[in-house]
Amino acid sequence: MDRVDATEHFAQHAQGDLPSLLVLIIDINPIPWTTNPLSTALPFNTALSNLLLFLNAHLAFSHTNKVAVIAAAAPRGGGAKILYPAAELPTDTKGRPQSRPPQPAPQPGEPNKYRPFKDLEEGVLAGLGKVLASVNEEDDGTDRTVVSETRIAGALTLALAYINRLAGAGADNLGQTLTKGTGTTEAGTMQSRILVVSVAGDVASEYVPVMNCVFAAQKKHIPIDVCKVAGNSVFLQQAADATGGVYMKLDAPNGFLQYLMMAYLPDPAARQHLVLPTQANVDFRAACFCHKKVVDVGYVCSICLSIFCTVPPDNICMTCQTKLAHTVGGMVVRKKKKKKAGTATGSGAGTPTVGTPRP
């Protein structure tokens, strides 16, 4: 009986102080960062040091708070990678790590730095350096023309998988090797959120994967905050809107740190008591699959839900090749037997080019 009382007491105490996980996704697409208005107002170096400060602030709130940093790159500009925390290598039988990456030499002159801050800074910089180096050295003949759009779906998927791992593992330490199958702990053991620092536009073909991530996040009550430093992204607008995150387009990127601290630092529990920046207008219009033209009244295939701006030729759906009857005012005009089953393949790779909502 004593034990019961004790746990209750403990539970009450723990309630107010749930560990909070912040997953930061940095857009490392070089083109927007080096294009003029942004490159003078907020050079990448400054942005990075501001972000590190922001992450330190998050860590400083509670010693149980955690941070993860993921890089998102342009198509052909390296994939999405987890920068921090560095992957733990499995230990060998003697408990030693099998192969340790060479430890960076301790920076002189910083003996008084708070250890978690130092680890974070070194980890993020090392991870970023590794990603950039791998992009530079990898020369396999593939076309490396970098475009000014950024793939975000991979980074979001990694972030969700990472959150899933931590939430499933309860309040375990990041550094510890987790035994697999720790059972299903309540998702309430960890408060997670995702912050996307984005400078580029959307990759149109990523619509389905991004929306899948958004719905997964929505289901797990993980807000996706978006800090739009430059450019315009309809996907991220919808992501923030659907998950209840903060979306802000920065008017003055040189005040980056202040934006971060004021709008993105409070965790979901604190946000209930704050007035947050809201999105007045979210673009929900759809783009047709045929011409990527924005439509407000469109035709939708009842089998695959593709959107068309006009009745497709011969009434055959261009995505799933189904013969369609066209309804006028809710009445079926023509009834025809379906011609062919869906041609979509089983993998995500089979995803046909799907239209994207565009402004």
Q: Which of residues 306-325 bind another protein (CB under 8 A)?
A: 307-308, 311-312, 315, 317, 320, 322-325
The crossing angle, in degrees rounded to 10, of helices 115-137 and 44-61 is 140
Q: Which of residues 246-285 bind another protein (CB under 8 A)?
A: 280-285
Contact string 116-155 vs another protein (x = CB under 8 A): ------------------------x-x--------x-xxx
Q: Which does 309 bind (CB under 5 to 8 A by kind): another protein, Zn ion, none?
A: Zn ion
CA 39, CA 157: separation in Å to the nearest integer? 29
9 binds Zn ion (CB under 5 A): no
Contact string 203-222 vs another protein (x = CB under 8 A): ---xxxx-xxxxxx--xx--
CB of 165 to another protein, least distance (A): 4
CB-count burial class (<10 Å; 0-12, 13-18, 19+) for 277: middle
CB of 321 to Zn ion, least distance (A): 7
81 closest CA partner among 18, 38, 138: 138
Judge contact between 2 and 138, C-beta under 8 A: no
CA 196, CA 217: separation in Å to the nearest integer? 13
Judge contact between 78 and 144, C-beta under 8 A: no
Contact string 322-341 vs another protein (x = CB under 8 A): xxxxxxxxx-x--xx-x--x
CB of 253 to another protein, least distance (A): 26
Q: Which does 291 bind (CB under 5 to 8 A by kind): Zn ion, another protein, none?
A: Zn ion
Q: Which of residues 84-103 bind another protein (CB under 8 A)?
A: 87-90, 98
Which of 19, 75, 123, 170 forms a contact with another protein (CB under 8 A)? Answer: 75
Residue 148, token pair as written in the block:
């000014």
C-alpha distances out from residue 162 to 10, 85, 182, 268, Å: 27, 11, 15, 19
Which of 18, 55, 67, 81 forms a contact with another protein (CB under 8 A)? Answer: 81
In 52-182, at which residue ranges do the beta strands (DSSP E only) sit?
A: 66-72, 81-84
204 binds Zn ion (CB under 5 A): no
